[in-house]
């Protein structure tokens, strides 16, 4: 059994895990239990850390967790050769970093008497940042350990990390791209990974010559989804209304291939998503659709009616056009806009309640409802509502 520490928007993160690993359930508000052999954190946009569950302990206070840690590891690591590097992250407890640190110090002194040497990573906070975990390579070898200790409704879990999200690599993939365009709004690579994973495990069309599953992004812009899908070893197909965007995607994909020494299967074409005929095979469609103009303050009512009508028209026509071309069962993960007003309420696109008429149905998930998949930062007016659909 594994535990995943979920990202800033836990409902979206657990949806991603459920679509990739199937047997997933909430453990606490910020963590999920995953019944799988292994969690590949590098492929997940929504999880910060993952770990193998070592102990499940009844109780809800740090003292109980602390005693168990010292008892278990003073035995397990007694007389161990080589130095152990240890970090401890405590999620959901009231104790501060000093108390967490104290547990490590008690363990260190117990181990010293058996001849085991331990380097304890100092806690500035109750949890180690993903950057600290990653930088110290915690979880990536036998003697570099991060204990992930989580308080949930049903008790406490003590897990050994198997890796943390590499935020440095994600930032480099975002900021290092030669062609960026603030106006079309660049999707964070993390969210692109999440959206690709929400399509679920993909297989190549058995009737096609191409032996790799192929992902279409019909609003490809600067190509973030294509880039992340390529890194996940999918063949990628991007179309966009604007020729400049196709050039940007081409340049960015060339950059990532040279940087990571990859040979991707890429197709790029100019096309209006409302009318284009795409080449087959298409095994999944993942896109951040047209979101309308960016806003730095809530738009006036008349402006909102205009932009909502416009985006709803383009995205509905696109979905209709697509439904006539892809095979039943093809997953379609589409980010559409929703606008936040001054009271923090969202105005949604009319089409989100009409996907049935357009030829799709929502993929049902056990842990979240479709309306929980709303991705936004507190300072943003235009949120991205993620529709996880399947062609009927």
Q: Is 186 in the site for ligand SAM (CB under 6 A)?
A: yes
Q: How far is the CB of 62 from ligand SAM (least distance, A)?
A: 43
Q: Does 236 bind ligand SAM (CB under 6 A)?
A: no
| CB proximity list for 136: less than 8 A, separation 6 or greater | 85, 87, 121, 144
Give bridge partners of residue 159 from the DSSP assignment. Answer: 53, 148
Instruction: Assess 62 for contact with ligand SAM (CB under 6 A).
Output: no
245, 326, 363, 386: which one binds ligand SAM (CB under 6 A): 245
Interface with ligand SAM (CB under 6 A), residue from 155, 185, 188, 359: 185
Beta carbons of 366 and 33 less than 8 angstroms apart = no
Q: Which of 84, 18, 89 is nearest to 48 (CA)?
A: 89
Between residue 65 and residue 84, which ones bind ligand SAM under the rule CB under 6 A? none
Peptide bond into 281 cis (omega under 30): yes
Question: CA-CA distance, 164 to 315, in Å (whole number)?
Answer: 36
- 273 neighbors 321 (Cβ within 8 angstroms): yes
187-226: contacts with ligand SAM (CB under 6 A)? 187, 218-219, 221-225
Question: At 323, which helix (H) or strand (E)?
Answer: helix 301-323
Do β-strands 360-362 and 382-391 pair in parallel, antiparallel, or remain unpaired? antiparallel
**Shortest distance in whole angstroms from residue 186 CB to ligand SAM:** 5
Q: Are 311 and 347 in contact (CB under 8 A)?
A: no
Output 184 or 388, the one with its CB closest to ligand SAM. 184
Q: How many residues bind ligand SAM (CB under 6 A)?
A: 22
Q: State which residue, 85 or 293, has the beta carbon closest to ligand SAM.
A: 293
Cβ distance to ligand SAM smaller for residue 265 or 269: 269
Query: According to the binding rule CB under 6 A, does residue 288 interact with ligand SAM?
Result: yes
Find the farthest-apart pair of alpha carbons in the chain and give their distance in angstroms, rounded: 74
Please tell me whether residue 291 binds ligand SAM under the rule CB under 6 A: yes
194 touches 165 (CB < 8 A) = no
- The CB-nearest residue to ligand SAM is 221
39 or 229: CB nearest ligand SAM: 229
How many Å from the N-terminal Cα to the C-terminal Cα in the chain? Answer: 34
Euclidean distance between CA atoms 255 and 236, whole angstroms: 15
Establish if 48 lies at the interface with ligand SAM (CB under 6 A). Answer: no
Q: Which of 138, 184, 216, 326 binds ligand SAM (CB under 6 A)?
A: 184
Site string for ligand SAM, 309-348 (x = CB under 6 A): -----x----------------------------------
Q: What is the nearest approach in angstroms of ligand SAM to the Cβ of residue 77?
A: 46
Q: Is 240 in the site for ligand SAM (CB under 6 A)?
A: yes
Strand, helix or coil at 74?
helix
Backbone angles phi, psi at 50, to 5 degrees: -135, 155
Stretch that binds ligand SAM, among 54-62, 101-109, 234-242, 363-371 (CB under 6 A): 234-242
Q: How far is the CB of 138 from ligand SAM (least distance, A)?
A: 32
Q: Which residues contact 129 (CB under 8 A, 6 or more apart)?
A: none
d(CA 139, CA 29): 23
Q: Which residues bind ligand SAM (CB under 6 A)?
A: 184-187, 218-219, 221-225, 240-242, 245, 272-274, 288, 290-291, 314
């Amino acid at each position: 059994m594994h535990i995943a520490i979920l990202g800033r928007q836990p409902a979206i993160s657990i949806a991603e895990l459920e679509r990739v690993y199937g047997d997933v359930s909430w453990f606490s508000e910020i963590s999920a239990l995953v019944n799988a052999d292994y969690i590949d954190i590098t492929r997940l946009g929504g999880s910060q850390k993952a770990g193998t569950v070592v102990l499940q302990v009844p109780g809800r206070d740090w003292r109980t967790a602390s005693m168990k840690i010292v008892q278990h590891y003073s035995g397990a690591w007694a007389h161990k050769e080589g130095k152990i590097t240890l970090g401890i992250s405590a999620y959901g407890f009231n104790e501060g970093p000093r108390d967490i640190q104290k547990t490590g110090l008690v363990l260190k002194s117990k181990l010293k008497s058996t001849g085991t040497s331990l380097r304890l990573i100092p806690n500035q906070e109750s949890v180690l940042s993903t950057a600290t975990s990653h930088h110290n390579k915690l979880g990536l070898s036998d003697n570099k350990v991060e204990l992930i200790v989580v308080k949930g409704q049903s008790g406490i879990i003590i897990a050994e990390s198997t890796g943390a999200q590499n935020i440095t690599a994600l930032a480099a993939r975002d900021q290092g791209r030669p062609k960026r365009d603030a106006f079309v709004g660049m999707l964070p690579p993390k969210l692109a990974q999440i959206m690709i994973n929400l399509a679920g495990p993909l297989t190549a069309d058995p009737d096609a010559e191409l032996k790799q599953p192929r992902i279409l992004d019909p609003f490809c812009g600067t190509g973030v989804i294509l880039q992340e899908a390529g890194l996940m070893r999918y063949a990628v197909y991007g179309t966009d209304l604007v020729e400049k965007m196709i050039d940007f995607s081409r340049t960015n994909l060339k950059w990532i291939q040279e940087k990571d020494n990859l040979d991707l299967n890429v197709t790029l074409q100019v096309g209006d998503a409302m009318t284009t005929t795409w080449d087959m095979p298409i095994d999944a469609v993942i896109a951040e659709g047209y979101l309308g103009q960016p806003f730095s303050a809530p738009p006036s009512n008349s402006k909102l009616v205009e932009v909502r009508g416009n985006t709803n028209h383009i995205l509905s026509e696109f979905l209709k056009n697509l439904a006539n071309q892809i095979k039943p069962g093809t997953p379609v993960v589409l980010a559409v806009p929703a606008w936040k007003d001054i009271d923090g309420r969202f105005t949604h696109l009319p089409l989100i309640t009409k996907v049935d008429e357009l030829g799709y149905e929502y993929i049902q998930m056990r842990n979240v409802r479709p309306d929980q998949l709303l991705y936004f930062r507190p300072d943003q007016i235009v949120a991205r509502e993620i529709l996880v659909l399947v062609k009927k």
